[in-house]
Structure 1
């Protein structure tokens, strides 16, 4: 704080001698007075700020409480068992239908947007039009199965895609179209070259008098020879075919041999499971048969070996099977988000077009998974 003086009262002229004899005494008094005044002002300011600080503390406390409540709600949601989430989701049919419709629509829109990206080109497939059953179901160049062993046949193309789930799911699939008559050899080349232990067939050979899949296995005891005896396929189990009614499927153990210059160069045995109760573009009447079928298929899985899954196009029924087979593992490794069906469907669509092709197949997955989890917990 500054102090102003008139010329008449100026201290340096009235008390010059005294101040020179006692240097610093007068200045010390003035400094003390100045500090005292400053402290008084600071105390007043602090006193005036107390109400504002109280309000600020209350606001911060409210924000902290709100944040804790939000975090608690999220944590509680994460702790919700997936089976409880699914039950709550499908409990109200109208709400579920609306939810599933929106999810499927979003997945379709995202797939359409990806079609413009170079990563999702199908240039090799377009060069082999005669080897594709459907003109619009083609494997992406990035993850198509490439045939390599020239002793087993010519060409490297087959309409089949590697499907590798994320989320630490211990599965590798080959999703393929149902063989055409001119691609049966390539189909068996895939099985042999990829060391496939299990073929999951989700279609009959014909539906409504239309061929959906060429028969690539023999009937009865008669061997099936292809390409002038260069490929031989036969049923290797004594019963030839077993009708497993609980899972509504046929079980076949098949031996396939490839000959090169009249010598066997490749010979493998593989199990084929053919599910019988699944119409094209549709769903099984009840999920229990398909659940039993998936459980049966799992008994034939071998670590790190791909499972070849096909229907007619290799996307609708094939995608539905793969999603249901993986959902249990997804839930164990990824408890939040809670919706394994939407996440896996979108994941597989990035690897093969229209996996889980229809709205009815997408909706079916929820009820089937719920029943599947229910059986596992029992």
Structure 2
């Protein structure tokens, strides 16, 4: 199986029409070819008896590129968290893809943010969606203590499609403090993709601006409940760089690379088609074609 389906900007409109014909038949075939990518990798650490309770889903298990934490209690299992280093356009460890923390892993989550010097944090799920807990709320209204790290919410700006929060995090052992900005996208429904391509593209630009200013030398953590929304945003970021710098589109190749680092990234066919619609709308906007960014779909994602 080829790892690339690269299409030039000039040829993309014709390619998009061809793949979208007959109810997205061409895109469905591409997505089917991605089904097995990355699933055969070892999951030994994730499946250890001591680590199993730290996983939200039994089919989203990191290993080959997993993030390793320090061992603080003298047990080797202290280094485990359900998170993977992920490649972006600029570096091999530009992102960390993580699950939404569980009640028992919130301390590990903040320890990861501290140890990996994370300054940009992206959340793509609500804590509760359709009566189900998708992510433990890992911050409080004021100051919260998570083992040796104190987290204080210092600002919160709710907007129509996302909320911006700044946290001051303090290491109680060293007294060092840092400020982490959380970008919490709230307009991504539990069943579906964002209502428009424009809203997610705008959100990506906002996150990327912060990354370029504060996170050039440390990874950006992105999480949802599992892998779908996280993979889609990471893929969109790389896609935009491809269009801007290479004048080409290779979403198949992007998703293939992501799945070699964490299974099921860009989890649904709808997400895969949505990324191609994003590419189409970005290209139209670049060429000055009048474009209405209102692509929508209604199938399930987590």
Q: TM-score, normalized by length of structure 2? A: 0.83
Note the 1:102-141 alignment, pairs <5 A. 102-112=29-39, 115=40, 120-127=41-48, 128-140=51-63
Contact 2:38–2:262 at 8 Å: present in 1 too? no
CA distance in 2, matches of 1:188, 1:346: 29
Deviation at 1:273, TM superposition (A): 0.3
Deviation at 1:171, TM superposition (A): 6.7
- 3-state SS of paired residue (1:299): helix
Cα displacement string for residues 231-278 of structure 1 (whole angstroms, at most 9, x for unaligned residues): 321112xxx211233xx1000011112324xxx454321000000011
1:303 aligns with 2:216: yes
Provide the residue aligned with 1:340 in structure 2.
250
1:89 aligns with 2:9: no
Contact 1:233–1:255 at 8 Å: present in 2 too? yes
Provide the residue aligned with 1:56 in structure 2.
none
Provide the residue aligned with 1:226 in structure 2.
146
Deviation at 1:304, TM superposition (A): 2.9
CA distance in 2, matches of 1:332, 1:168: 13
Taking only aligned residues, the RMSD between alpha carbons, in angstroms, comes to: 2.5
Deviation at 1:369, TM superposition (A): 2.3
Q: Which has the higher strand share?
A: 2
Q: TM-score, normalized by length of structure 1? A: 0.67
Contact 1:192–1:266 at 8 Å: present in 2 too? no
Q: Which has the higher helix share?
A: 1
Deviation at 1:136, TM superposition (A): 1.3
User: Match for 1:235 among 150, 153, 161?
Assistant: 153
Cα displacement string for residues 196-247 of structure 1 (whole angstroms, at most 9, x for unaligned residues): 110010000001111100001122xx222334xx4321112xxx211233xx
Contact 1:169–1:329 at 8 Å: present in 2 too? no
Specify every segment of 5 or more residues in structure 1 that has no aligned partner in the other structure, as ranges. Answer: 1-77
1:370 aligns with 2:260: no
Provide the residue aligned with 2:164 in structure 1.
251
Contact 2:37–2:259 at 8 Å: present in 1 too? no
Provide the residue aligned with 2:137 in structure 1.
215
CA distance in 2, matches of 1:259, 1:199: 21
